[in-house]
Amino acid sequence: MPFIENDKLIESMSRSVSQESFRSLLEIRDNYTTRLEWEPLFISPMWLEVWWSVFGNDRELYLTSVREDDSVIGIAPLMIENGITSIIGSADVCDYLDLIVLPNRDQDFFDALVDDLKRKGVKQLNLESLRPDSRVLTGITDAALRRGCEVTLTPCDVTLEMKLPCTWDDYLLVLNSKQRHEVRRKLRRLEEVGNFEYRSISGSTPVIEALDTFLKMFTESRGYKADFLTQKRESFFRSMTESMANAGILKLGLLEIETIPAAIIMYFDYNDTIYLYNSGFEKEYISLSVGLLSKVLCIKDSIESGKKVFDFLKGNEVYKSRLGGKETQLSDCRISIN
């Protein structure tokens, strides 16, 4: 009940930590009254559920919300292993991770979360693959320091992204003269070889039907990709593809020459941003630079579709900067709980 103190109306609030399920997270996300921002996409409920089903193993699931009366002020998609808590996910398949917290509620969220973790005997939070604009780095670290926790930040990787201009011609002007010339030259050469088409494949059934083509090109185009695609990771790719395509987020970009598949990319279309997740190509077309051109044509398609950002995701491969990507540092954060 509200009460009067010093001539001000004060609301009595009850703050609690509640255990959630992946299904209840979907309900929270879809509740139109919430202002929680589900960024990045690698902490969306669908992604978390698929990752956990494949890689959870013997870890303890700590999927909780911090609530104030009936309102959710934050979500902690965490797991516990050997007394250390981390965000659900792994650096090999999840490019960015984060906690989900309402703006300006970091301290309330963190205090409630840590009190609950302490009751479970947790001494350390390991929060990895964080963007500089993550809730962890913009609010949680300060909340941890104010509480007296020890915080350690360590650079871990880089990501590259670019703001998309309004037109394809404007994009070409973003590139330096050498790269602009190379893009035009490679596209002309592709045109001279024969009819080609780049098209986006969306929808659960069409994407799933094309997935074997993607996996074949993915593993055969580069030797290290075949080593990467273990049985577990392939299981993850298949389950994740079905879930994210069904949600309208995952798409495939297919480049065909004379109706024959030459290159393919897997990407996410999420909140006006295109995330380039993975790619592959047929080696017989390597002289035509089809791997690079599939990405160029995806950028073109993204501009024409009115997207705002093209995110090349984690890794400093040279082609990313040549195509206009700008580097951003990612960090790992370790918080010692006391």
Domain count, the chain: 2
Same domain, yes or no: 185 and 249: yes
Do 111 and 180 sit in the same domain of this protein? no
What's 218's domain CATH number?
A: 3.40.630.30
Does 314 fall in a domain?
A: no
In the block, tokens 């990787």 appear at 157
Examine the domain organization and report whether 23 and 148 are in the same domain. Answer: yes
Confidence at residue 13, expressed as pLDDT on a 0 to 100 scale: 59
Q: Which domain holds residue 141?
A: 3-157+330-336
My answer on whether 148 and 187 are in the same domain is no
Cα(258)–Cα(196) distance, integer angstroms: 6
Same domain, yes or no: 143 and 230: no
Give yes or no: residues 152 and 169 share one domain: no
Helices (H) and strands (E) in the chain, counts: 12, 15
**Is residue 121 in a domain?**
yes
Q: Please tell me whether residues 237 and 118 are part of one structural domain.
A: no
Which pLDDT belongs to residue 35?
Answer: 81
- Closest C-alpha to 76, from 84, 68, 85: 85
Residue 57 in domain: yes
Give 134-149 as a DSSP string: SHIIIIIHHHHHHHT-
- Distance of alpha carbon 158 from alpha carbon 317, whole angstroms: 10
Contact 96, 88 (CB under 8 A): no
Which residues partner with 63 through β-bridges?
A: 77
Cα torsion angle, 305, 311, 317, 322, sign? positive
Quote the CA–CA distance of 111 and 135 in Å, as a whole number: 15
Beta strands, E only, the chain? 3-5, 8-10, 15-19, 60-68, 71-81, 84-87, 100-101, 124-130, 150-163, 196-201, 250-257, 260-270, 273-281, 309-314, 326-336
pLDDT score of 33: 64
My answer on whether 109 and 225 are in the same domain is no
Beta bridge partners of 276: 267
Question: Which pLDDT belongs to residue 338?
Answer: 80
- DSSP string of 18-65? EE--HHHHHHHHH-TT------SGGGSHHHHHHHHHHH-TTPEEEEEE
CB 99 within 8 A of CB 74: yes
Beta pairing partners, 327: 160
- Say if 317 falls within a structural domain: no
Alpha-carbon distance 182 to 322, whole Å?
10
Asked if 198 and 291 sit in the same domain, the reply is: yes
On whether both 104 and 206 belong to a single domain, the answer is no
Residue 36 domain flag: yes
- For residue 180, being part of any structural domain is answered with yes
According to the model, what pLDDT value does residue 31 have? Answer: 82
Q: Tell me what pLDDT residue 69 has.
A: 86
Q: Give the number of other Cβ atoms within 10 Å of residue 10's Cβ.
A: 10
- Assess whether 173 and 267 both reside in one domain: yes
Structural domain contains residue 183 = yes
127 and 152 fall within a common domain: yes
Blockwise average pLDDT, block size 10, the chain, 338 residues = 35 78 93 80 97 95 93 96 94 96 96 95 96 97 97 98 98 97 97 94 97 95 87 96 97 97 98 96 96 98 98 97 98 95
Q: Is residue 322 part of a domain?
A: no
